[in-house]
Amino acid sequence: MQIEDIKLAGFIEITDKDALLVVDVQNDFLPGGALPVADGDQIILGINELISKFHDSDNIIVFTQDWHPADHQSFASAHLGKNPYEVFEAPGIGPVLWPDHCVQGSHGASFAPGLQTVNATLILQKGFHKAIDSYSAFLENDKTTETGLATFLQSLEIKRVFVCGLALDYCVYFTAVDARSFGFEVIFILDLTKPVNSPPDSVPKALQSMVGHKITFVTSDQILS
Ligand code: VGL
Ligand code: ZN
């Protein structure tokens, strides 16, 4: 399954039970960054427009930041003889190892230039446990440790989340699927996300899985306020 094969839902109106989740739009995931996503910079203006819509209607807006200690076990550099993007599986780590990226407090971990974060309701940092990665904004990769986001959104009576950001096949994908498992409806904004494409089948797998999890797909021009 490819992006072109996804069936779009049509127009969707934002209600007061909706939150916007902007996932990991950080320097290291932009072209030229440590873990570059092709055209990752091309989604920023569109995300800003969506942020404005959610802000104008007084909706919840959550930003996440990938936020790793310098010796994080998802980095190839933490494993003797291993290279970035090499296949690697350990509890809470994998399916591949990464270049050093989004180190806490670094320029690479900062939000992308121009991203409108001033109206954030919550900025959630994740991936800070040295031995456990967290692709998802809801649940760390041990599939047990919660980030607190589900409880936060539930306490605000949010029923549906709109997800966008970087990268389609990792943090946005796992955030979308975990949102479903916590009982939220999920609107996946296909034109406001870009993939890492590693390993090479990561995108078709992620798309297939999201279809199976009853996630709704739209493009940003179909979102009405
Ligand atoms: C991500 C790989 C490693 C992401 C984060 O934000 O999608 N991908 N860390
Ligand atoms: Zn990471």
Q: What is the pLDDT of residues 110-130, one digit of tens each?
A: 999 999 999 999 999 999 999
- pLDDT recorded at residue 225: 87
β-pair partners for 162: 20, 187
What is the 3-state secondary structure of 117-152?
Answer: CCCCCEEEEECCCCCCCCCCCCECCCCCCECCHHHH
How is residue 79 annotated by DSSP? Answer: S
C-beta of 98 in contact with ligand 1 (< 6 A): yes
Q: Domain range for residue 62?
A: 20-197+216-224
CATH assignment of the domain containing 190: 3.40.50.850
Whether 82 and 76 have beta carbons less than 8 Å apart is answered as yes
Report residues of the chain scoring pLDDT below 50: none
Whether 47 and 192 have beta carbons less than 8 Å apart is answered as yes
Measured distance CA(135)–CA(40) in Å, rounded: 17
State which of 65, 171, 173, 192 you would mutate to test the pocket of ligand 1, scoring each by most atoms of that ligand within 8 A of its C-beta: 171
C-beta of 189 in contact with ligand 1 (< 6 A): no
- Report the residue count for the chain: 225
In a domain, 162, yes or no: yes
Ligand nearest to the CA of 168: 1
pTM of the full structure: 0.98
Whether 148 and 136 have beta carbons less than 8 Å apart is answered as no
In a domain, 202, yes or no: no
- pLDDT recorded at residue 172: 98
